[in-house]
Amino acid sequence: MASEARRGCGTTQPLSPIYYHKSETAGESIFSRMSLSNCAYLAGLIDGDGSITIVKRDRTKQGRSLTFQPKVSIGGYPPHLEALRFILPLGNIWIRKRLSQRHLAEWTIAGGQCRIFLAFTMPFLRLKYEQAKIACSMPFCRSRWDATPELRNEQVKCWLEIKRLNSLTGRGDKKWQVK
Protein backbone atom coordinates (compact mmCIF):
# COMPACT_ATOMS: atom_id res chain seq x y z
CA MET A 1 0.00 0.00 0.00
CA ALA A 2 1.17 3.54 -0.71
CA SER A 3 0.86 4.73 2.88
CA GLU A 4 3.35 2.13 4.04
CA ALA A 5 7.01 1.82 3.21
CA ARG A 6 8.76 -1.52 3.38
CA ARG A 7 11.66 -1.85 5.76
CA GLY A 8 14.01 -4.72 6.34
CA CYS A 9 12.84 -8.33 6.35
CA GLY A 10 9.19 -8.01 5.40
CA THR A 11 8.28 -5.66 8.24
CA THR A 12 6.58 -2.40 7.42
CA GLN A 13 7.03 1.07 8.79
CA PRO A 14 3.82 3.09 8.46
CA LEU A 15 4.31 6.61 7.18
CA SER A 16 1.61 9.23 7.38
CA PRO A 17 0.38 10.38 3.96
CA ILE A 18 1.50 13.79 2.80
CA TYR A 19 -0.51 15.82 0.34
CA TYR A 20 1.37 17.85 -2.23
CA HIS A 21 0.36 21.45 -2.86
CA LYS A 22 2.14 23.32 -5.64
CA SER A 23 3.61 26.60 -4.49
CA GLU A 24 6.97 28.33 -4.31
CA THR A 25 7.62 26.67 -0.95
CA ALA A 26 6.11 23.30 -1.80
CA GLY A 27 8.93 21.47 -0.04
CA GLU A 28 8.37 23.39 3.17
CA SER A 29 4.62 22.72 3.11
CA ILE A 30 5.27 19.01 2.61
CA PHE A 31 7.65 18.79 5.55
CA SER A 32 5.45 20.89 7.83
CA ARG A 33 2.98 17.98 7.79
CA MET A 34 5.58 15.30 8.53
CA SER A 35 5.86 13.77 11.95
CA LEU A 36 9.16 13.67 13.81
CA SER A 37 9.28 9.89 13.50
CA ASN A 38 9.06 10.16 9.70
CA CYS A 39 11.92 12.67 9.63
CA ALA A 40 13.94 10.36 11.86
CA TYR A 41 13.19 7.39 9.58
CA LEU A 42 14.40 9.32 6.52
CA ALA A 43 17.53 10.41 8.44
CA GLY A 44 18.21 6.76 9.25
CA LEU A 45 17.99 5.91 5.56
CA ILE A 46 20.49 8.65 4.75
CA ASP A 47 22.88 7.46 7.47
CA GLY A 48 22.59 3.82 6.42
CA ASP A 49 22.08 3.74 2.65
CA GLY A 50 22.57 7.34 1.56
CA SER A 51 25.09 9.99 0.76
CA ILE A 52 25.28 13.76 1.08
CA THR A 53 27.45 15.55 -1.45
CA ILE A 54 27.91 18.83 -3.24
CA VAL A 55 27.90 18.45 -7.01
CA LYS A 56 30.29 20.64 -8.99
CA ARG A 57 29.33 21.30 -12.60
CA ASP A 58 31.96 22.96 -14.73
CA ARG A 59 30.40 24.30 -17.92
CA THR A 60 32.94 27.02 -18.67
CA LYS A 61 33.78 25.42 -22.04
CA GLN A 62 30.14 25.94 -23.08
CA GLY A 63 30.21 29.63 -22.20
CA ARG A 64 28.53 29.09 -18.85
CA SER A 65 29.93 29.27 -15.38
CA LEU A 66 30.86 26.90 -12.61
CA THR A 67 27.90 25.82 -10.43
CA PHE A 68 27.58 23.95 -7.13
CA GLN A 69 24.50 22.33 -5.65
CA PRO A 70 23.86 20.06 -2.66
CA LYS A 71 22.62 16.53 -3.37
CA VAL A 72 21.22 13.70 -1.25
CA SER A 73 21.07 10.17 -2.65
CA ILE A 74 19.44 7.16 -1.01
CA GLY A 75 19.93 3.71 -2.47
CA GLY A 76 17.58 0.79 -2.04
CA TYR A 77 14.95 -1.53 -3.41
CA PRO A 78 12.77 0.15 -6.09
CA PRO A 79 9.31 -0.49 -4.52
CA HIS A 80 10.49 0.87 -1.18
CA LEU A 81 11.90 4.09 -2.67
CA GLU A 82 8.87 4.53 -4.95
CA ALA A 83 6.57 4.28 -1.91
CA LEU A 84 8.67 6.87 -0.07
CA ARG A 85 8.67 9.20 -3.08
CA PHE A 86 4.88 8.82 -3.39
CA ILE A 87 4.59 10.06 0.18
CA LEU A 88 7.31 12.69 -0.19
CA PRO A 89 7.20 13.92 -3.82
CA LEU A 90 10.71 15.36 -4.09
CA GLY A 91 13.58 14.50 -6.40
CA ASN A 92 13.89 11.66 -8.89
CA ILE A 93 14.28 7.90 -8.76
CA TRP A 94 16.81 6.19 -11.01
CA ILE A 95 16.45 2.42 -11.42
CA ARG A 96 19.51 0.41 -12.43
CA LYS A 97 18.55 -2.75 -14.29
CA ARG A 98 21.14 -5.44 -14.91
CA LEU A 99 20.64 -8.90 -16.32
CA SER A 100 20.62 -11.70 -13.75
CA GLN A 101 20.76 -9.18 -10.87
CA ARG A 102 18.17 -7.63 -8.62
CA HIS A 103 17.16 -4.14 -9.69
CA LEU A 104 18.50 -1.34 -7.52
CA ALA A 105 17.20 2.20 -7.28
CA GLU A 106 18.59 5.54 -6.20
CA TRP A 107 16.40 8.38 -4.94
CA THR A 108 18.15 11.69 -5.66
CA ILE A 109 17.13 15.06 -4.23
CA ALA A 110 19.18 18.09 -5.31
CA GLY A 111 19.31 21.87 -5.15
CA GLY A 112 16.73 23.82 -3.15
CA GLN A 113 14.68 20.70 -2.40
CA CYS A 114 17.78 19.13 -0.91
CA ARG A 115 18.34 22.09 1.40
CA ILE A 116 14.77 21.83 2.72
CA PHE A 117 15.03 18.03 3.02
CA LEU A 118 18.27 18.28 5.00
CA ALA A 119 16.94 21.05 7.24
CA PHE A 120 14.15 18.76 8.46
CA THR A 121 16.21 15.58 8.76
CA MET A 122 19.46 17.09 10.10
CA PRO A 123 18.50 16.92 13.82
CA PHE A 124 18.16 13.13 13.49
CA LEU A 125 21.34 12.42 11.49
CA ARG A 126 24.08 10.63 13.42
CA LEU A 127 26.78 9.68 10.91
CA LYS A 128 26.34 12.34 8.25
CA TYR A 129 25.42 15.35 10.37
CA GLU A 130 28.58 17.29 9.45
CA GLN A 131 28.00 16.81 5.72
CA ALA A 132 24.39 17.99 6.08
CA LYS A 133 25.46 21.05 8.05
CA ILE A 134 28.00 22.01 5.39
CA ALA A 135 25.57 21.38 2.52
CA CYS A 136 22.90 23.57 4.16
CA SER A 137 25.35 26.35 4.99
CA MET A 138 26.89 26.53 1.51
CA PRO A 139 26.06 29.92 -0.03
CA PHE A 140 24.11 29.84 -3.27
CA CYS A 141 23.44 32.35 -6.00
CA ARG A 142 20.21 32.79 -7.87
CA SER A 143 21.92 33.07 -11.26
CA ARG A 144 25.39 32.79 -12.71
CA TRP A 145 25.62 36.58 -12.90
CA ASP A 146 25.26 36.85 -9.10
CA ALA A 147 28.37 34.75 -8.54
CA THR A 148 31.18 36.81 -7.08
CA PRO A 149 34.72 35.47 -6.56
CA GLU A 150 34.14 35.49 -2.77
CA LEU A 151 30.94 33.46 -3.14
CA ARG A 152 32.68 30.95 -5.42
CA ASN A 153 35.56 30.60 -2.95
CA GLU A 154 33.09 29.79 -0.15
CA GLN A 155 31.34 27.24 -2.36
CA VAL A 156 34.65 25.61 -3.27
CA LYS A 157 35.59 25.42 0.44
CA CYS A 158 32.29 23.67 1.23
CA TRP A 159 32.74 21.31 -1.72
CA LEU A 160 36.27 20.37 -0.64
CA GLU A 161 35.23 19.89 2.99
CA ILE A 162 32.42 17.49 2.04
CA LYS A 163 34.83 15.60 -0.22
CA ARG A 164 37.22 15.29 2.73
CA LEU A 165 34.48 14.08 5.09
CA ASN A 166 33.16 11.57 2.56
CA SER A 167 36.67 10.21 1.99
CA LEU A 168 36.66 9.03 5.62
CA THR A 169 34.78 5.90 4.45
CA GLY A 170 31.57 7.94 4.07
CA ARG A 171 31.06 8.16 7.80
CA GLY A 172 31.87 11.81 8.35
CA ASP A 173 33.31 12.49 11.77
CA LYS A 174 35.83 9.92 13.05
CA LYS A 175 34.14 9.67 16.47
CA TRP A 176 31.49 7.37 14.90
CA GLN A 177 33.97 5.02 13.23
CA VAL A 178 34.53 1.59 14.71
CA LYS A 179 38.14 1.11 15.79
Do the domain assignments include residue 17?
A: yes
Do the domain assignments include residue 163?
A: yes
Do the domain assignments include residue 179?
A: no
pLDDT score of 23 more than 70: no
Do the domain assignments include residue 8?
A: yes
Residue 97, SS3 per DSSP:
coil
Is residue 104 very low, low, confident or very high in pLDDT (cuts 50, 70, 90)? confident
Do the domain assignments include residue 106?
A: yes
- What are the φ/ψ torsions at residue 66 (nearest 5 degrees)? -75, 135
Do the domain assignments include residue 49?
A: yes
pLDDT for the residue 65: 73
Domain residue limits at 116: 4-169
Chain segment 138-165, per-residue pLDDT in tens? 988 777 677 788 888 899 999 999 999 9
Do the domain assignments include residue 123?
A: yes
Domain total for the chain?
Answer: 1
Looking at residue 142, which CATH number applies to its domain?
3.10.28.10
Chain segment 59-103, per-residue pLDDT in tens? 776 656 788 999 999 999 888 988 888 888 888 998 888 777 778
